[in-house]
Amino acid sequence: MLQHLDDPDPFDASPALRAGVQRRAAQLRRRRVSFASVVAIVVVFGFATASFAWVRMRDDNIQRVHLADGTLTDVAPSEPVDIVLVGSDSVSTEMGGPRADVVMLVRLDPAAGSLHILSFPRDLIDPRTGGRMADVLVGHDATAVVDSVHLLVSVPIHHYIQLDFQGFVALVNEMGGVRLDVSAPIADRFTGLSLPAGCSQLDGTTALGLVRSRHLEVDGVADPTSDLGRTTREQAFITAALAQLSSSATDPLTLDRYARILGDHAVLDDKLDFTHLVALGRELRNVAPNAIESFTLPSTPATQNGAAVLISSAADADMARRFLIDGTLPGSSTPQDGAPRLRITSC
């Protein structure tokens, strides 16, 4: 069987034949590599397309409301975007019902890579109704809220987003919580909030208790800063959350869960469609944590019908506009006499 191994005249391939065989082998290898690459591209593209369609379907479930013509201003893709953000005890597209626990004006500037957050205290007098900003939604709709914000600071508004408390809790939990560093132990015996000094991971329920606390104690001392202190805590939390959100995962499953939460707990203006949401998300990821600034509309304490309220002036509005446009902040204010000095930062 092995006699051929002793063949005195074994076959010897010529150099030309060897070169031809090598060329053919190389061609086959290239075809296999090329075919594998094409399959990979098709699979990835198909998965991305399916994910896009799925998130698009989730987007269709988000409540959207049409604001009165002329309320919202169109904006070019590269221009700063001003968004009214409302946190409410419920979501409604009808007049009446929910209370505006948080009212903010957020400016995202793609060119500068910055995010400026202007807060309106709950006790601030609404120039449109003469009532408090906390009641800006009671008996009114999204158009009225945007009109009130515009009257206070005289800047064009481009979009409106309203999120209820359950949505806030769900989003924080979906992010895996938010890490905050508090400079002293804080507690609220009415809500059960209790955080030690230092860095803590807050889940959604704890985070909601922090930003809504009305009876905060700092290292055992009652915080007398009231509504303004509450607004400052809201800003500190949202700044930390946005900084962490900008570096969070953007895989299809995570985006789908975010979209599902918005569908259940948010109301957006009908100009903020899927394409604009994706664009805003991309721009937000380009904002560095140190480019996020927050400020509260300056105001003066007053009394109205026996209740403590806050009133803003034209000079206060000018200061707020400067902050929104270029981040200019006035000198640091002195805390109220006896007020605990509480610092809350991301960690």
pLDDT digits (tens, 9 = 90+) for 161-177: 988 888 889 989 988 89
Neighbour-count burial for 288-326, b at 16+ CB within 10 Å, e otherwise: eeebbbbbbbbbeeeeeeeeebbebeeebbebbeebbee
| Cα–Cα distances in angstroms (integers) from residue 233 to residues 144, 199, 308, 342, in the given order | 26, 15, 20, 9
Residue 66 has pLDDT above 90, yes or no: yes
Residue 36 parent element (H or E): helix 15-60
The reported pTM is 0.75
Q: How many CB atoms lie within 10 A of CB 178?
A: 25
Does residue 285 or residue 295 have the better pLDDT?
Answer: 295
Residue 105 has pLDDT above 60, yes or no: yes
Please report, as a single letter, which amino acid is at residue 112: A
Q: How many CB atoms lie within 10 A of CB 128?
A: 16
Structure tokens given for 31: 């075809």
φ, ψ for residue 47 (rounded to 5)? -65, -45
Residue in this structure with the two tokens 């998300």, named with its chain if needed? 281
Q: Residue 37: CA atoms inside 13 Å, Cβ hemisphere, count?
A: 6
Q: For residues 103, 256, 53 and 250, what is the CA-based torsion angle, rounded to 10 degrees?
A: 90
Mean pLDDT computed over 113-117: 91
Question: Do the strands 186-188 and 193-195 form a parallel or antiparallel pair, or are they unpaired?
Answer: antiparallel
Q: What's residue 188's pLDDT?
A: 92
The Cα–Cα gap between 117 and 83 comes to: 10
Residue 236 has pLDDT above 80, yes or no: yes
Mean pLDDT computed over 32-42: 40
Residue 41 has pLDDT above 90, yes or no: no
Does residue 228 or residue 180 have the better pLDDT?
Answer: 180
Do 75 and 81 form a contact (C-beta atoms < 8 A)?
Answer: yes
φ, ψ for residue 197 (rounded to 5)? -65, 145
Residue 187 parent element (H or E): strand 186-188
**Closest alpha carbon to 58 in 205, 249, 271, 268:** 268
The length of the chain in residues reads 347
Do 84 and 127 form a contact (C-beta atoms < 8 A)?
Answer: no
The Cα–Cα gap between 160 and 246 comes to: 20
Mean pLDDT computed over 327-334: 64
Structure tokens given for 54: 């799925």
CATH superfamily of 65-329+338-346: LCP protein (3.40.630.190)
> What digits encode the pLDDT tens for the residues 211-222?
888 889 999 888
Does residue 15 or residue 48 have the better pLDDT?
Answer: 15
Question: Do the strands 159-164 and 81-88 form a parallel or antiparallel pair, or are they unpaired?
Answer: parallel
Do 124 and 312 form a contact (C-beta atoms < 8 A)?
Answer: yes
| Cα–Cα distances in angstroms (integers) from residue 303 to residues 135, 180, 214, 220, 297, in the given order | 17, 35, 20, 29, 18
What DSSP letter does each residue of 83-118 carry, written as one string? EEEEEESS--SSSS---EEEEEEEEEETTTTEEEEE
SS3 296: strand
What average pLDDT does the structure give for the chain?
Answer: 78
Mean pLDDT computed over 278-302: 85
Q: What's residue 58's pLDDT?
A: 66
Q: What's residue 87's pLDDT?
A: 85
Residue 55 has pLDDT above 70, yes or no: no
The Cα–Cα gap between 287 and 297 comes to: 23
Please report, as a single letter, which amino acid is at residue 146: V
**Closest alpha carbon to 269 in 146, 166, 155:** 146
